[in-house]
């Protein structure tokens, strides 16, 4: 594995960092307080080419390989302090655009992907339900076969981007008796009769990333809206989750690097008992631990990207990266808060928001405990 970057890749990352610093960090504290996504910043990211990074140029994307995409998203997380925006963008890239490009028909790709890459369309993902999260076999949403299509009924929850979406990738079962074998994926337009979303769900962190329920009340979708074949929904879901677990936290690598640099500066400047606080071992040890977490998490993430680029299986590696990176970002955020002391607890220093945002990473795209289950199963336990 060679993780050295070409001059072009390094320049691309630097350009994204500069773009993010110059354009995406306006009023983040206020928007976090309001729980508001900046659609203007979303469109800026689309115009810069971020949303279409891994998508084929045939459908309006940049056609970048996965390693380059990871590096660029790392740069976005470094330059952009609005991790809710970074998360919302990743959610669309991996749980909406990826399954459409991988499993969609030519008509579906041409209809949706260019608009998603341009930022004209926003996509949501509907798998989790009030009584079915990690346990996909307990899915309650139903799809009934009718002339010309399907009628969908059910409720999805914790759906990122749903309040502002134009379409949603929704999973429902055709036959509960088949368990996971009955799950089928559909592309549902927001304007479809019987499709609605709830009010935005208020959250502890990632507050600028909109989230709500998706409600399907006898929602008719034509045959052309099915994504993949009947009963292939779990394959669609697992594919998108492997990519999402691999990629959705790339931005957090950049955020961890920015966080570490901020702590080093603060530890040099803040003085207590006649010396910089970085001279105290309790502070310097925390910073050393933050550096170790950052570099090991980065290597895990790059390994997954290398495996995916070389078309090798990465189920256990993706689970390991998701588990380690999310837990590392949370621990390092708590360490940062302790280093800043009382100032870290204050909103204006933006450290407490890092803690709140980091906690979400241990939950979405499969909780840390689910990642441990996946790893254990792959080890034969």
Report yes or no on 240 lying in a domain.
no
Q: Which of 121, 139, 166 is the last residue of a domain?
A: 121
How far apart, in whole angstroms, are the C-alpha atoms of residue 139 and residue 311?
30
Same domain membership, residue 215 and residue 177: yes
Reference 186, options 123, 243, 135, 131; nearest CA is 123
Q: Cα(206)–Cα(37) distance, rounded to whole angstroms?
A: 10
Beta-bridge partner residues of 124 = 168
What's residue 240's pLDDT? 81
> Where do we find the tokens 């508001």?
36
User: How confident is the prediction along the chain (381 residues), in pLDDT tens digits per residue?
Assistant: 777 899 999 999 999 999 999 999 999 999 999 999 999 999 999 999 999 999 999 999 999 999 999 999 999 999 999 999 999 999 999 999 999 999 999 999 999 999 999 999 999 999 999 887 767 777 899 999 999 999 999 999 999 999 999 999 999 999 888 878 889 999 999 999 999 998 889 999 999 999 999 999 999 999 999 999 999 999 998 888 777 776 778 999 999 999 999 999 999 999 999 999 999 999 999 999 999 999 999 999 999 999 988 989 888 999 999 999 999 999 999 999 999 999 999 999 999 999 999 999 999 888 999 999 999 999 999
Reading the block at residue 147, the tokens are 């002339």
- CATH number, domain containing residue 28: 1.10.540.10
* C-alpha span between 81 and 201 (Å, rounded): 22
Straight-line distance from the first to the last Cα atom of the chain, in angstroms, rounded to the nearest whole number: 29
- As a whole number of angstroms, the distance between CA 280 and CA 288 comes to 12
pLDDT given at position 335: 98
Find residue 231's DSSP bridge partners. Answer: none
b vs e for 294-323, b when ≥16 Cβ sit within 10 Å of the residue's Cβ? beebbebbbbbbbbbeeeeebbbbbbbbbb
Q: Considering the domain boundaries, does residue 239 fall inside one?
A: no
pLDDT at 48: 97
Residue 224 sits in a domain whose CATH number is 2.40.110.10
pLDDT at 189 (0 to 100)? 96
Q: Say if residue 354 is in the same domain as residue 270.
A: yes
> What pLDDT score does 83 carry?
97
Active-site amino acid positions: 244
237 within domain boundaries: no
Cβ 184 vs Cβ 197: under 8 Å: no
Q: Where are the beta strands (DSSP E) in 237-327?
A: 271-272, 275-276
Q: What pLDDT score does 209 carry?
A: 97
Closest CA to 70 of 90, 48, 56: 90
Q: Are 250 and 327 in contact (CB under 8 A)?
A: no
pLDDT at 118: 97
Does residue 168 share a domain with residue 63? no
Burial class (CB in 10 A: 0-12, 13-18, 19+), 329: buried
Q: Identify whether 132 is part of a domain.
A: yes
CATH number at residue 312: 1.20.140.10
Asked if residue 236 belongs to a domain, the reply is no
Q: How many CB atoms lie within 10 A of CB 35?
A: 17
Structure tokens, 219: 């929602």
- Token pair, residue 326, equals 């999310």
- Sequence-distant (6+) residues with CB within 8 A of 238 are none
Strands 211-222 and 195-197: antiparallel
Alpha-carbon distances, residue 155 vs 129, 130, 158, 167, 219 (angstroms): 6, 8, 10, 15, 11
Domain end residue (candidates: 163, 197, 231) = 231
Its domain, for residue 111, covers 7-121
- Same domain? For 113 and 128 the reply is no
40 and 12 in one domain? yes
In a shared domain, residues 63 and 135: no
* pLDDT for the residue 366: 86
Domain boundary at 97, 121, 145, which?
121
Residue 126 pairs with which residues in a beta bridge?
170
Q: Angle 39-48/106-118 helices, nearest 10 degrees?
A: 110
Q: Are residues 79 and 151 in the same domain?
A: no
Q: What is the pTM of this model?
A: 0.94
| Structural domain count of the chain | 3
pLDDT for res 2: 77
Tell me whether residue 294 is in a domain.
yes
Instruction: With respect to residue 243, please indicate whether it lies within any of the assigned structural domains.
Output: no
Residue 365's pLDDT is 85
């Amino acid at each position: 594995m060679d993780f050295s970057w070409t001059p072009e890749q390094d320049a691309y990352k630097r350009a994204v960092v500069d773009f993010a610093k110059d354009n995406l960090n306006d009023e983040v504290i206020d928007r976090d307080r309001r729980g508001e996504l900046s659609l203007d910043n979303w469109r800026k990211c689309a115009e810069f080419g971020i949303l279409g990074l891994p998508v084929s140029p045939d459908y309006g994307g940049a056609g970048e390989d996965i390693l380059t995409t990871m590096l660029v998203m790392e740069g976005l997380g470094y330059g952009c302090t609005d991790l809710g925006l970074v998360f919302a963008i990743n959610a669309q890239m991996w749980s909406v655009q990826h399954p459409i490009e991988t499993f969609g028909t030519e008509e579906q790709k041409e209809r949706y992907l260019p608009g998603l890459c341009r930022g004209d369309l926003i996509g949501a993902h509907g798998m989790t339900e009030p009584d079915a999260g990690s346990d996909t076999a307990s899915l309650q949403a139903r799809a009934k076969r009718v002339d010309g299509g399907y009628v969908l009924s059910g409720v999805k929850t914790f759906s990122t981007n749903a309040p502002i979406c134009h379409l949603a990738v929704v999973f429902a079962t055709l036959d509960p008796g088949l368990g996971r074998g009955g799950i089928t994926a559909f592309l549902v337009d927001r304007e479809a009769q019987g499709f609605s979303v709830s009010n935005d769900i208020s959250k502890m962190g990632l507050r600028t990333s909109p989230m709500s329920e998706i409600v399907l009340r006898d929602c008719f979708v034509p045959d052309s809206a099915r994504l993949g074949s009947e009963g292939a929904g779990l394959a669609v879901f697992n594919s998108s989750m492997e990519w999402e677990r691999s990629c959705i936290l790339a931005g957090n690598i950049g955020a961890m690097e920015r966080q570490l640099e901020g702590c080093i500066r603060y530890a040099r400047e803040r003085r207590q008992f006649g010396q910089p606080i970085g001279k105290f071992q309790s502070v310097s040890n925390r910073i050393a631990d933050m550096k170790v977490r950052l570099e090991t998490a980065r290597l895990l993430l790059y390994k997954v990207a290398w495996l995916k680029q070389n078309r090798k299986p990465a189920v256990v590696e993706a689970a390991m990266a998701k588990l380690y990176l999310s837990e590392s970002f949370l621990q390092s955020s708590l360490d940062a808060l302790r280093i800043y002391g009382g100032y870290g607890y204050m909103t204006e220093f933006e450290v407490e928001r890092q803690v709140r945002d980091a906690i979400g990473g241990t939950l979405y795209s499969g909780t840390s405990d689910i990642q441990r289950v996946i790893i254990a199963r792959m080890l034969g336990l």
